[in-house]
Structures are given as structure tokens and as C-alpha cells.
Amino acid sequence: MSSVGAGFRLARAGWVLVREGVIAALPGEELSGLPKFGWRLARLFTRRRALAYERSDRLAKAVVRLGPSYVKLGQFLATRPDVVGNDMALDLAMLQDKMHTFPRAEAVAAIEASLGRKVADLYAEFGDPVAAASIAQVHAADTIHDGAATKVAVKVIRPGVRRRFFQDLESYFLAARLQEKYIPSSRRLRPVEVTETLAQTTKIEMDLRLEAAALSELGENTRDDPGFRVPSVDWERTGRDVLTMEWVDGVKMNNIAGLEAAGHDLKAIAANLIQSFLRHTLRDGFFHADMHPGNLFVEANGTIVAVDLGIAGRLGKKERRFLAEILYGFITRDYLRVAEVHFEAGYVPRQHNVAAFAQAIRAIGEPIHGQPAETISMAKLLTLLFEVTELFDMATRPELILLQKTMVVVEGVARTLDPAFNMWKTAEPVVGGWIAGNLGPRGMMIDARDGAKALLTLARQAPELAARTDRLSREIDLMAEHGLRFDESTARAIGKAEARYSRSGRVALWVIALTLVYIAWKLL
């Protein structure tokens, strides 16, 4: 029955996408055969008023109608341009959570159930919702510390949102399985694995304790950074379904008129935003991965405050070195070094030629250097780079795609603040500084220290590794002498699986036989 329900929900989602003109906005003229017929049919059923909107606006209206899980699906697919295409990924990246609020009484019930205390005991004052997103909404409240009232923001999970998400996930899995079955060309994109990743990230995002931990970590990393911070967490009033944090007084970054009225230097804010993001990415390997302008505030002194850290990205040391050398290589036009970095990182298989790959990199870099600096997009550069790497069998790297998606959004915000924004000039101090500190003599010393630590750890584990090797050797000898044996539980599991498949096969044969009998009877 769950599969039937998933099918109905999937059909409804398709109908909403048709009615809101999302399907009609796709480049259907390039299609042929049945897909093109379906695209033309979708245009006939599109609402007339929807045709007046841009594709991104149609998409936003459709996902709002479909509900919170589709907003998250859209934001997640924005990190996978290899799946949805670059143009659609850009539209999805601009999706922001703007949902209807739910009653204050339901929020109170959720808080009391999560923390096991009455709201009156937790907060001196608990107000109405001030903002609502797909997974949670935010309330203004007051707490008492040392006899003084402190204003806080309280984020509360939507009632029933987990159940709704898991129901819609069934539809996503059904669509992914159908795609793999009937569209062979899509199998290399592994849609079922993509859906499994979405399911996992959504589970993490729905536990507000994990968002609180991310805020705490980013707060520690940026404690001494100029012009950037995140709100502090009130751990006493934080649980699985509720997050209490410092209230932020500032102007949202999507309010350009408000920023100008407050006397802020928009060019300085744009530069600060990009440099802060690159600093978090390269220095810390941990960055806010949902930095749309609705999640960014500017305080009176010009400090940027980032909120809503439900989605965070991580880069290992190898990925950070990869990113820094690529960006610096493009800045200095050292395309051979950019190509070598790909091979050193193991991203491009060794059977390919480094010089040929450098030639492909040059095809990206040279046109960019012929443009005015303020028109060069680092996000577009990374997009073109990933397109070229596909020709050289570079496997999809989820952590790099999430970085690309975030950079698209951050760079878009910066250009909104400063249309003549020079990305390369702004990025060079951070990227160049990181390379000087990590790839020069100091970096070599750090690598040597890390290598020595790894060798010491390995030496400490040597007795245990020797014992494991000895046990493995004896087991292989026994297996060679007596053959492979299963334990009782494994044998039972195999038997049950075989029985189940046998039953399914018999049922299928009976259905086929009855169908043939019915057809023969009709023909007679």
C-alpha cells in the first residue's frame, strides 16, 4: 500500500509541476519522440498566469505548493548539477524557505515534549512566530539571566514534518527506481544513491541538537575573525525539536534599501562575505552551506551574522589544497599545475595524459582572462571545470559539488551588493595567504609532523595488526582445507531469501499464464 500511496503522491507532484509551468519552461524543443509529445502536452495544461513568470519563479511557486519536503529536495538537487543540469541547479540554489507559520500552541507543545519542562519555566516571555521555513519556525522569547531579561530566538520543528518527509521520501525512491529502470542513460548518475543521500541529510537537519553543535563549532572557528560571527547557543534550552540561540539585531542582506539606509558600505560587506566564506573553507574545512541572503544579517557595526546552519559542508586537507591550488593556478594562468593537482589528488584516473588535461583547462582559463575582472565568476569557473573533468572520467565528488553550490549563492549575493564586484582581487589575499602558509616551508613542516604522528599511531597498533593478520592467515588455511562455511543465521537468511524469490517467481508465472489464457479466450 505504501508503494501505491507513493505513486499517487508522485502523480500529484507531477501535476503541480505541470500546472505551475515548470515542465513547460524546460528546453523541450531539443527533445524528440514521446518525451517531446509529453512536453507539448504539459504546455497545454499549464496555467495561463504561470506563463508570465520566469522559470525560477515558477519553480518556487510549485515547490511551495508541494510542501516543505519538496523545498528541501530542490535545495538538495541544487548541489547536484550533474543530475539536474547547470541552469536548473542555479534556479534551485536560489530557493529560500518561506512557508506558512503554525500555531503558537503547537510550538509550545513541541518545546515541552522535547525539553520535559513547561515553557513558563524556560522563558520569561514566549512570543508569536516571526519567521517560518520548511522544517521549523522561529519565535521571539525572553530569558532571565542574573535578574535581567535577554532576548533570544527559539527555533521549533514543525509538528508532523518528519512523518511528511518520510512519506514523500517513498515517492522520491519510487521515482529514482523508475528512472534507473526505464532511462538507462541516467544510471551513471545513481539516482537511488542520490535519494539515499537526501534521506540522510534530511534526518540530520531535523535534529536541532546537531545544528546547535554546528553553530558552536563555527562560532569557535570564527571567534577572532573580523566582521563575521554566528549566534551563540543556549544549550539549557536546546533539544531534538527546539534550538534556543542569541537574538540577532540587524538588517537582512536581501534588504538592499535597508542596508543603504543604515549607512552600510555595500562594497565592503560584499568583500567581507566572500573572504569570510573562503577563510572558513580553506582554513577550517567547515563552512555554512546555505548562505542565501535570507540567512545573513548585517549588524550596526557592519558585522555579518549567519543563521540557520542546518546544512554545513566539510572539506578535508586534500580537498582544501585542491581548491586553493586550482584557484591560484587560474589566477596565475599556470594550467599545467592545475592539471597536476587533479592527478595528485587522485580525482582524474592515471590512464589520462596530464598535458592533454592541461590543454582542456587552458580552454576554460584563457577566455576568462580575456574578460574584465569584475565579470569573471569563480562559481562559473568551477562549473566549467567540473564539466571538463567529466570528459576525463573524474568521479562526482559530493563535497566539492556542495562547495560549488554554496559559492554560486555567495557570489550571487556579493554581486547583488556590488554589481562591479571583482572576485579575483577579493579572493587573492585569502587564497594566496593560505597557499603561502600551507604549501610553503611551513606547510611542509606541518605535513612532516602529521606524517610522524600517523607513523607513531601505526607503530602503536602494530601488535594488534600482527594478531589480526595471524588470525586471518589461519582462517584462510582452514577455508582452503575445508571449504567456505556459513554460520546458522547466515544459512537461514539465505534460505528465506531463496524462498521469497521462489514464491515471487511462481506468482509471476501464474499471472503470466492466466493472462495468456484470458487473451486466448478473447481471441476465440
Q: Classify the C-alpha dihedral 221-224-228-231 as positive or negative.
A: positive
Alpha helices per DSSP H over 297-440: 317-332, 335-344, 354-369, 378-391, 398-417, 423-438
Nearest-5° angle of CA 245, CA 247, CA 252? 120
What is the CB-side half-sphere exposure of residue 45 using CA atoms within 13 A?
14
Cα separation, 2 vs 172, in Å, equals: 13
At 156, phi and psi to the nearest 5? -125, 135
Catalytic status, residue 418: no
Judge contact between 303 and 228, C-beta under 8 A. Answer: yes
Among the options 290, 393, 477, 487, which is catalytic? 290
212-248 CB burial, b ≥16 within 10 A, e <16: bbbbeebbebbeebebbbbbebbeebbbebbbbbbbb
Judge contact between 81 and 178, C-beta under 8 A. Answer: no
- Quick one: which of 365, 370, 340, 364 has its CA closest to 352? 340
133-143 CB burial, b ≥16 within 10 A, e <16: bbbbbbbbbeb
Say how many C-beta atoms besides its own lie within 10 A of residue 327's C-beta. 25
Cα separation, 481 vs 483, in Å, equals: 6
Cα separation, 111 vs 121, in Å, equals: 11
124: helix, strand or coil: coil
Cα separation, 296 vs 275, in Å, equals: 15
| Edge-to-edge order in the sheet of strand 136-145 | 125-132, 136-145, 148-157, 242-246
Secondary structure, 3-state, 163-227: HHHHHHHHHHHHHHHHHHHHCHHHHHHCHHHHHHHHHHHHHHHCCHHHHHHHHHHHHHHCCCCCC
154: helix, strand or coil: strand
Judge contact between 107 and 71, C-beta under 8 A. Answer: no
305: helix, strand or coil: strand
| Residues catalogued as catalytic | 290
